[in-house]
């Protein structure tokens, strides 16, 4: 039977977790509707309770329920986000497996000064907790050398997918060269890094823009050859990046955590039945002085049919 990793080509949809403005509880009905709307588009998989889904702000029970709702709503593979520390991540993993998750996305542990051996044990513990394929998200302080990734692939038999969140093309190419086809390679830092990831040879990328403009995310994947098998058309990709991608990512750089806040605000502006809603602490909602810029960006998306 083909492994899940071989099916994951194109774009990962990355739904946010909507919260109610009244008490910041999870709005599961809004989540179900968001996922249903996103599922009308041919993403290769859906990531529930990931970084864009504010995993770090969810309880274990909430994270599992987010995955359960997503899985019950879509026919595409659902990848559940886990993290924080070994006991919590393992509890999430076991619950998500029962909820129907097809794979797990492992975020770095919350302790930022972990030694290499301890970091390896963290991933090994989560790998043993279920029989699900593992995708490791190398972001923030979870920085890996090619030798470390090879060691981890030997240590964790269920490791199938590597999601890069460092944006260091030099290192990522060396990792990919060392591991070859042992893992599926995914670009995970952001839509704005897609041209770099295409040059490295990824088979898919994760898209927060998928929340507001599935058509744009999928068009970038098509032009990048991820869904067609053709060479990337950088001449066609560049104007789309310059007009639609870079402006919204520029706003996201104003405040830490805006990678979620801006997308949620843009969702509420987009309409069409999708819900963004507020963020939970430790994030903050989009500040008044930045809202007009986001409004103008969303209006430009809509005028172009995205």
pLDDT in tens, 169-191: 999 999 999 999 999 999 999 99
Decide: 83 and 106 in contact? Cβ < 8 Å. yes
pLDDT tens-digit profile of 149-169? 999 999 999 999 999 999 999
Q: Are the C-beta atoms of 115 and 93 separated by less than 8 Å?
A: no
Over 80: is that where the pLDDT of 77 sits?
A: yes
Give the residue-averaged pLDDT of 16-34.
98
Mean pLDDT for 80-85 is 98
Give mean pLDDT, residues 49-78: 98
C-alpha–C-alpha distance, residues 78 and 101, integer Å:
5
β-partners of residue 81 are 105
Q: Averaged over 111-122, what is the pLDDT?
A: 97
pTM: 0.96
* DSSP SS3 for 226: coil
Checking if the pLDDT of 146 tops 50, the result is yes
Residue 3 is predicted with a pLDDT of: 83
Contacts of 8 (CB under 8 A, 6+ apart): 44, 45, 77, 161, 184, 186, 203, 204
In the predicted structure, residue 215 carries a pLDDT above the cut 60: yes
Q: pLDDT tens, 227-276?
A: 999 999 999 999 999 999 999 999 999 999 999 999 999 999 999 999 99
Residue 2: what pLDDT? 60
The Cα-based distances of 284 to 127, 249, 256, 281 in angstroms read 33, 17, 9, 6
Average pLDDT value for the chain? 97
Mean pLDDT within 113-131: 97
Phi–psi pair at 160, nearest 5 degrees: -125, -25
**pLDDT over threshold 90, residue 1:** no
Task: Calculate the alpha carbon distances from 264 to 48, 132, 165, 268, 279 in Å.
Answer: 15, 30, 21, 6, 8
- Summarize the confidence of residues 43-51 as an average pLDDT: 97
pLDDT (average), residues 133-140: 97
Active centre residues (catalytic):
137, 163
For each of the domains in the chain, give its residue range(s) and CATH number, in order of start. 4-231 (3.20.20.70)
Residue 53 phi, psi dihedral angles, 5° rounding: -90, 10
Strands (E), the chain: 10-13, 45-48, 78-84, 103-109, 134-138, 159-164, 184-187, 204-207
Mean pLDDT of 46-53: 97
Asked if pLDDT for residue 283 goes beyond 60, the answer is: yes
The set of residues, in sequence order, having a beta carbon less than 8 Å from that of 33 and lying 6+ positions away, is 273, 274, 275
């Amino acid at each position: 039977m083909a492994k899940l990793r071989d099916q994951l080509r194109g774009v990962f949809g990355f739904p946010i977790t909507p919260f109610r403005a009244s008490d910041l509880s999870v709005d599961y009905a809004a989540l179900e509707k968001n996922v249903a709307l996103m599922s009308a588009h041919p993403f290769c998989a859906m990531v529930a309770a990931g970084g864009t889904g504010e995993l770090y702000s969810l309880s274990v029970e909430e994270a599992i329920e987010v995955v359960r709702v997503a899985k019950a709503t879509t026919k595409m593979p659902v990848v559940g986000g886990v993290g924080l520390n070994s006991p919590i991540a393992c509890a999430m993993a076991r619950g998500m497996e029962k909820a129907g998750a097809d794979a797990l996305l492992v975020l770095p542990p919350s302790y930022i000064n972990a030694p290499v051996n301890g970091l390896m044990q963290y991933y090994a513990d989560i790998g043993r907790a279920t029989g699900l394929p593992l995708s490791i998200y190398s972001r923030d302080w979870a920085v890996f050398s090619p030798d470390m990734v090879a060691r981890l692939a030997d240590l964790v038999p269920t490791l199938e997918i590597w999601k890069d969140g460092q944006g260091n093309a030099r290192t990522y190419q060396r990792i990919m060269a060392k591991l070859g086809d042992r893992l599926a390679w995914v670009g995970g830092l952001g839509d704005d890094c897609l041209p770099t990831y295409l040059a490295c040879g990824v088979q898919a990328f994760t898209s927060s823009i998928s929340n507001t403009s599935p058509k744009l995310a999928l068009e970038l994947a098509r032009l990048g050859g991820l869904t067609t098998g053709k060479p990337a058309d950088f001449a066609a990709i560049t104007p789309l990046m310059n007009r639609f991608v870079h402006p919204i990512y520029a706003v996201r750089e104003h405040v830490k955590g805006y990678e979620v806040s801006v997308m949620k605000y843009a969702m509420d502006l987009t309409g069409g039945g999708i819900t963004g809603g507020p963020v939970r602490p430790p994030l903050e909602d989009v500040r008044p002085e930045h809202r007009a810029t986001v409004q103008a960006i969303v209006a430009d998306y809509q005028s172009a049919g995205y």
